[in-house]
Amino acid sequence: MSETLYNRLGGQAGIDKLVNRIVDLHLQNDVAGPRYQALSEEATDRAREKVKEFLAAGTGGPVEYTGRSMLEAHTGMNVSSAEFVAVVDDIVQAMNEMDYPRPVCDEILGIAFSLKDEIVHK
């Protein structure tokens, strides 16, 4: 059997590093940044941990996701397509910095785009 995406991301340590960098980039992002800057430190920390869990659970890791569904978490925010693209840009930048192989990046982007309808304009 081929390696899980979880393992190809470097397991929990790789995912933790990736998500920490993505959230740091979100906080500095001109388009999507204000959404994250508006959160309390506790809320940012919580979202960061939930995203780590979400990614680990969704890529075959030995983890159970305990957060809200993507629809539940983002409904009422009216996230724009531009904000969604800005978030994906940060994901690409963080993956490039970590030198993940192209197929790993493509799979992550596939997961991100598959969630777009649950996140944008809800």
Q: CA torsion sign, 101 to 85 to 122 to 116?
A: negative
What string marks each residue from 23 to 62 as x (binds ligand HEM by CB under 6 A) or -? ---------x--xx--x---x---x--xx--x--------
**120: helix, strand or coil:** strand
User: Does the footprint of ligand HEM cover residue 90 (CB under 6 A)?
Assistant: no
Residue 115, interface with ligand HEM (CB under 6 A)? Answer: yes
- Least distance (Å) from ligand HEM to the CB of residue 33? 9
Q: Is 73 in the site for ligand HEM (CB under 6 A)?
A: yes
**Residues 54, 69: contact at Cβ < 8 Å?**
no
- Is residue 81 packed enough to be buried (19+ CB in 10 Å), middle (13-18) or exposed (0-12)? exposed
Q: Whole-angstrom Cα distance, residue 84 to residue 41?
A: 22
Binding residue for ligand HEM, selected from 19, 79, 94, 108, defined by CB under 6 A = 79
- Cβ nearer to ligand HEM, comparing 63 with 115: 115
Angle (deg, nearest 10), helices 102-114 and 81-97: 160
Residues lying near ligand HEM in the complex (CB under 6 A) are found at 32, 35-36, 39, 43, 47, 50-51, 54, 67-68, 73-74, 79, 83-84, 87, 112, 115, 119
